[in-house]
Amino acid sequence: MTLHIVNQSPYRTSALRDCLDAMADGDALLLIEDGVYAAGAPTGIAPIPAGTYCLQADAVARGITPAKSITLIDDERWIALCVEHTPIVSWF
Amino acid sequence: MIFSLVVYSAPHAGESAATAVRFARALVDQGHRLYRVFFYGDGVHSGSALAAPPQDEQDLLGQWQALYREHGVDLVVCIAAAQRRGVLSQSEAQRLERPAANLAEGFELGGLGQLADATAHSDRIVTFGGSA
Amino acid sequence: MSQITLAICRHAPYGNALAREGLEAVLAAAAMDQTPDVLFTGDGIFQLLPDQAAGEIDQKSLHRNLQALPMFGVEQIYVCQRSLEERAVSSNRLAIAGINLVLVQDTGGLISRYQHVLSF
C-alpha cells in the first residue's frame, strides 16, 4: 500500500488533485506543509478521503483546524507510516 | 529500517528543506538507518558553506552537518546539478576555473549513480520536493 | 527483469528544471543497470509533445534525452491517459522512436507495484 505525501496548497497547484487521481484502495494520504490547507473546510476542489493524515505542527503553525475525519500526527507517527507503507510518493 | 532521502528544495526558499532535515533527525533518533541524503535540483544549495541566515532563524546547514558529525550520514550533492548552480568543491572550482569553492564540510559531490545506488540499498525512499 | 523503481515525471519541460533533471536521473540509473520504469503524468506529458524547438529559448531539447532512453534499455514508457485527456493531447501525436507508449488508466494500481517511487 502506498503512502502519498502532498505539500502544496490545493489552491495553488494540481498536486493534491493529481495525487487523489492516483490513489488506490487502501492507500494513505498525508498532508504536510502548505498541503494542510486542504485539511480545513471542504476545498471545493476535491473531497479528502476519510482517514487522511495531517502533520499537526504544520496545521497548528498556519492556524488551520483540520476536519474531524482527519488524523493529526507528529513526525514519529509519520516515520511509522513510512515503515508501514511502500512505495512512498511525494506530490509537489 | 534503511531510509534514503532525496531533497529537491533549496534551503530557506520554502519549508521543504527544513522538513527534510527535521525528518532526517527524527529517523536517526528513532534508531533507523539513514543510508544517504541525496541533494538534487535546487536542493544542492543545501551544501553551500556560504549560507549565513540570521541568528534567530533555523541553521539548516548546521543541522545537516550535525547529522554528519554525530551519525556519519552520507550527504551527497549531485555534481551535475551543483555545477549548474554554483556549488563547487575545491577541486571542482580549480578544474572549472572558478574563483572560489563553497561545498560545506560534511557534504560530498557525487554522480546520479549515487541516487540509483540509494534506491538499491534502501528499504524506503522519501522525497522532499520543491515549491515550483 | 523486475524493476523496483518507478520514476514519475509530472513537470513540464523548460519551465521547470525537474523535467530535464528527472530524465537525466532515469538515464543515469539505466546506465547502472538499474533501469527504472517511467510514468509521464500531469504536465509531464508535455515533455512528449513533438515539434519542440527549445533552441528558440536557448535551451537544449529535452527530446534528445527522451530519444536516448531506448539506448539505455528503456523501451516502453507509461503515460497517464487522464492527463492527456485533461490537456486535450491526443496520444497519436506522441511518438518517440524506439519507445512503446503504454496508456495507463489506473495509475494508483501501477504505482502500487513498485518498491520505490522517485518523483520528478
% of chain C beyond a pLDDT of 90: 93
Judge whether residue C1 has pLDDT over 70: no
**Distance (Å, whole) CA B81 – CA B41:** 6
Residues from C contacting A (CB-CB < 8 Å) are 6, 8, 10, 41-43, 82, 106-109, 111-112, 114-117, 119
The pLDDT value recorded for residue C3 is 66
CATH at A68: 3.40.1260.10
CA distances from B43 to A15, B8, B112, C117 (A): 19, 4, 14, 18
The pLDDT value recorded for residue B115 is 97
Burial B64-88 (b: 16+ CB within 10 A, else e): bbebbeeeebbbbbbbbbbbebebb
Please report all neighbours of A, defined by 3+ CB atom pairs within 8 A. B, C
By C-alpha distance, which of A29, B3, A22, A91 is closest to C111?
A22
Min Cα distance B110 → chain C (Å) is 12
DSSP H/E element including B79: helix B79-85
Q: Is residue A31 part of a domain?
A: yes
**Distance (Å, whole) CA A81 – CA B116:** 23
* Residues of B with Cβ-Cβ distance to C17 under 8 angstroms: 41-42
Q: Is residue A92 part of a domain?
A: no
CA distances from B57 to A63, B11, B62, C58, C104 (A): 20, 12, 12, 38, 45
At B131, the pLDDT band (50, 70, 90 cuts) reads low
Q: Which residue of C has its CA nearest to A85?
A: C115
Contact B126, B16 (CB under 8 A): no
Q: What average pLDDT does the segment B40-44 reach?
A: 98
CATH of C5-119, one of 3.30.360.10, 2.40.37.10, 3.40.1260.10, 3.40.50.720: 3.40.1260.10
Min Cα distance A33 → chain B (Å) is 7
The pLDDT value recorded for residue C82 is 97
C-alpha distance across the termini of chain A, in Å: 20
For the complex shown, is ipTM > 0.90? yes
The pLDDT value recorded for residue C77 is 97
Query: Hey, are the CB atoms on A8 and B131 less than 8 Å from each other?
Result: yes
Min Cα distance C6 → chain A (Å) is 9
What does the pLDDT look like over A20-78, one tens digit per residue?
999 999 999 999 999 999 998 776 777 899 889 999 999 999 999 999 999 999 999 99
Judge whether residue C2 has pLDDT over 50: no
Q: How many residues does chain A have?
A: 92
Sheet holding B107-110, edge to edge: B107-110, B75-78, B33-39, B2-7, B124-128
Judge whether residue B103 has pLDDT over 60: yes
Mean pLDDT, rounded, of chain C: 94
Question: Does residue B112 belong to the interface with chain C, where contact is any CB pair within 8 Å?
Answer: yes
Q: Which residue of B has its CA nearest to C33?
A: B116
What does the pLDDT look like over C25-39, one tens digit per residue?
999 999 999 999 999
Contact C47, C61 (CB under 8 A): no
Supply the range of the domain harboring residue A38: 3-86
**Beta-bridge mates of residue A54:** A31, A72
Question: Does residue A75 belong to the interface with chain B, where contact is any CB pair within 8 Å?
Answer: yes
> Which 8-state DSSP code applies to residue B103?
B
* Residues of A with Cβ-Cβ distance to B131 under 8 angstroms: 8, 92
Residue boundaries of the structural domains of chain B: 2-128
**Which of B1, B15, B127 lies closest to A33 in CB terms?**
B15
- SS3 for chain A is CCEEEECCCCCCCCHHHHHHHCCCCCCEEEECHHHHHHCCCCCCCCCCCCCCEEEHHHHHHHCCCCCCCCEEECHHHHHHHHHHCCCEEEEC
Residues A8, B76, B28, A56: what is their CA dihedral angle, to the nearest 10 degrees? -10
**Distance (Å, whole) CA A91 – CA B124:** 16
Cell of C110: 501501477
Min Cα distance B31 → chain A (Å) is 11
Other C-beta atoms lying within 10 Å of the C-beta of residue A56:
17
Catalytic residues of B: 78
Mention the CATH class of domain B2-128: alpha beta
At C104, the pLDDT band (50, 70, 90 cuts) reads very high
* Residues of B with Cβ-Cβ distance to C116 under 8 angstroms: 119, 122, 124-125
What does the pLDDT look like over B53-90, one tens digit per residue?
999 999 999 999 999 999 999 999 999 999 999 999 99
Question: Does residue B62 belong to the interface with chain C, where contact is any CB pair within 8 Å?
Answer: no
The answer to whether the Cα torsion of A84, A89, B2, B5 is positive or negative is negative
The pLDDT value recorded for residue A50 is 83
Please report all neighbours of B, defined by 3+ CB atom pairs within 8 A. A, C
**Distance (Å, whole) CA C84 – CA A21:** 13
